[in-house]
Structure 1
Amino acid sequence: MTAVYVTPAAMAEQGAALRALAAGVRRGMLRLVAAARAGATASRRRSAVDHAEMTRRRTVAYALEAMRAGAYADVALGGPVPR
């Protein structure tokens, strides 16, 4: 059986990757919010949620969960505490 060692360096590297992902997700979320606001002001009628929108929402949910896990990893390493 293969042994897996979790080192502080590996945890820090994973935390950095998750922070980079979080920054990209944040930018994407801001774009989505801006587009949603523009669409809401353009027409008050709500259209049905299509497959692409559900996929986007699921992707955002997964990314938020990854960000949450990254924040817990940062705290475990003694990094900044999330607010």
Structure 2
Amino acid sequence: MTPTALIPFGMPDVQEALKKLMEAGNEAMRWIQVMGGLGAQVRALGYADWAGGAAKAPFDAIGDTLRGTHGMMLDMYRHPDELLEAC
């Protein structure tokens, strides 16, 4: 990384944005601590917690994170067996 790439980090607007991101991160940590404790209570009652009840379609799981829609469509026709195995 060249020294010029670091220049934006010295700009007041960028520094202020980074401070706000740090505040958001701190708030997210407080949230997950509360949700973690609540999740344990909910699971003890026999229910799925906030993350355990989530699901995603196999097409979306691969397409959204690995291949993209175009890649998935190509895979459906060119490599259907491998795609099914991955799902």
Q: TM-score range by the shorter chain?
A: 0.3 to 0.5
Question: Which structure carries more relative contact order (alpha carbon 8 Å, separation 6+)?
Answer: 1
Larger Rg: 2
Q: TM-score, normalised by structure 1?
A: 0.43
The structure with the largest helix share of the pair is 2
